[in-house]
Amino acid sequence: MTDNARLLAQVRPADWLDPDPRSLYDLVVLGGGTAGLVCAAGAAGLGAHVALVERSSLGGDCLNTGCVPSKALIRAAKAVRDARVSADLGVTTTSRVEFSAVMRSVRERRADLAHHDSASRLTSLGIHVFFGAASFTGPRTILVNGRMLRFRRAVVATGARPSVPPIPGLMKVRYLTSENLFEITDQPRVLLVVGGGPIGCEMAQAFALLGTAVTIVEAGPRILQGEDVEAADLVARQLATNGVRVLIDTPLRQVSESGGQITATFDGGSISADTILVATGRSAHLEGLNLEQALVRHGPNGVAVDDHLRTSNRRVYAAGDVCSSLKFTHAADAMARVVIQNALFHGRGRVSSLVIPWCTYTSPELAHVGIPPTEAVRRGAVPITIRFADVDRSVIDGESDGFLRVHHDRGRIVAATIVGVHAGELIGYFASAMRRGGRLGDLAHDVFPYPTLADAVRKAGDAYRRTRLTPVVSSLLRRYFALVRKM
Ligand SMILES: Cc1cc2nc3c(=O)[nH]c(=O)nc-3n(C[C@H](O)[C@H](O)[C@H](O)COP(=O)(O)OP(=O)(O)OC[C@H]3O[C@@H](n4cnc5c(N)ncnc54)[C@H](O)[C@@H]3O)c2cc1C
């Protein structure tokens, strides 16, 4: 059995028979991605009668076309990078990339993880799973495969899909997006990545390390816009070191294809490539939902929700990419938990009380939590920066490029950015600290094993406490020690 067949057997079984619908469900979930799965499993675990409708494959973007395959590809690219840098440690290895085997391992990892999201797991939890496109027929009814599902509450969790910009000619060429990227078997020789956001940068670097000649074209003034500028510049430098050419301020004017060669034109030049990957953001997936029938308002950013994730129909909620600008799996998961509480138990859980970090898994990783860096500066928050060059473990590992920067307002953490290896792991400390009140000085009391990167977290706490030593206190302390030395 191929890995894709193994995947589909779990998340979209070919011989699936929809169950006979109940006369009324406590919760009907539209979409079987992270948000939908967490809502459905959580509600069923509490005893609710739940139906889940998925039009394509359970697991949604994360399992099928997003986090899982992209991180598996990045893992293969890291093996190449490790082989290259090992010479600095006195170990010489050679690496040879067999691209079709790399992609096979990507698909294998995906199939290995599919059991978490499988149809059989959901039915074992008592959830009625329907495979088909759901659409509302009224404020309390949903149609799927010609059958009517009546609900007390529903949650729209239909996610997002790649948004493709209206570049003249683009629709006429064969282009890749995250939806078909992980199915390729032949290595692109020359890859043009349109968009320097997280997905564009992650994939550009991975393909470059695997041996493809890669160019990113970004319409804006820098890659990873919205992130700390110094941190994004560090990632840009590393991309260049890995052979990725980055063209900023370069909106594409025209794309055409001739003899299997794609040509993209911009002001003052053009690029040729055999493959083009469009990574210019993602927009809410609303097609066919008939939201008007359910009196659910929506706009350019997807389903409109209040802070409790309730839509304009008080019986209908939304969670995940379909209603949020924070399009991440862990955000979808956290929102789903808010929905369970609010939709089924009249709870008052608020999205605004969640602290949601994020990470771009380039090398180095770039992670952030809290208000945007520009907002932190505008509000006059004070930065404290710890360079990984000053953290023993980073130096030992030869991976000291990068830093941790915390912005605080009179000791309360308002934002943290980390750029460096394992930034995605470290940012969790700050997310956790911020949720518990976020006093920067408290971090100085935390004890971490030596030598670890986490030592940088304590150093940030120490650095803050040193700033609390006013000249008056310093001079008092000097006098105290002068006195005790005489005793
Ligand atoms: C390349 C890539 C890499 C990513 N990497 C990361 C990462 O490293 N970390 C991270 O946190 N996030 C990452 N993401 C984002 C992450 O995948 C999404 O944020 C997450 O999947 C959102 O979950 P969701 O449940 O809101 O939507 P989705 O996962 O999109 O699920 C929605 C589901 O609804 C179904 N659906 C749509 N319309 C209907 C309908 N009418 N009826 C029934 N079903 C319907 C869809 O088929 C889909 O299965 C990545 C995304 C991409 C594309």
Ligand 1 midpoint to CA 158 (Å): 8
- The pLDDT, as a whole number, for residue 473 is 76
* pLDDT of the residue at 486: 82
> Cβ < 6 Å from ligand 1: which residues?
30-36, 53-56, 60-62, 65-67, 70-71, 133-134, 157-160, 178, 199, 285, 288-289, 320-322, 327-330, 332, 361
pLDDT along the chain (487 residues), means of 10: 96 97 98 98 98 98 98 97 89 91 97 98 98 98 98 98 96 96 97 98 98 98 97 98 97 95 96 98 97 96 97 98 97 98 94 97 98 95 98 95 97 98 97 94 94 96 90 80 84
Q: Give the nearest ligand 1 atom to 62 CA.
A: 17
- Are 3-162+283-353 and 170-280 equal in CATH topology? yes
Tokens at residue 8, please? 């589909």
456-464 contacts, C-beta under 8 A, 24 or more apart: 456/386, 456/388, 456/391, 456/404, 456/426, 457/404, 457/426, 457/429, 457/430, 459/386, 459/390, 459/391, 460/384, 460/386, 460/404, 460/406, 463/384, 463/386, 464/384, 464/406, 464/408, 464/411, 464/440
pLDDT at 174: 94
CA torsion sign, 375 to 381 to 401 to 438?
negative
Q: What is the pLDDT, as a whole number, of residue 122?
A: 98
What's the pLDDT score for residue 356?
Answer: 98
Residue ranges per structural domain of the chain: 3-162+283-353, 170-280, 364-467
Which residues 6+ apart lie within 8 Å of 329 measured at CB? 34, 62, 66, 67
Q: Which fold has domain 3-162+283-353?
A: FAD/NAD(P)-binding domain (3.50.50)
Residue nearest to atom 30 of ligand 1 (CA): 159
The confidence score (pLDDT) of residue 253 equals: 97
> Is 0.85 surpassed by the pTM of this model?
yes
| Top-level class of domain 170-280 | alpha beta
Residue 115 Cα, ligand 1 centroid: separation in angstroms? 17
Look at domain 364-467 and name its CATH class.
Answer: alpha beta
Task: Give distance in angstroms: CA of 78 to centre of ligand 1.
Answer: 25
Cis before 364 (ω within 30): yes
Cα 356–chain centre separation: 11
pLDDT, residue 474, reads 75
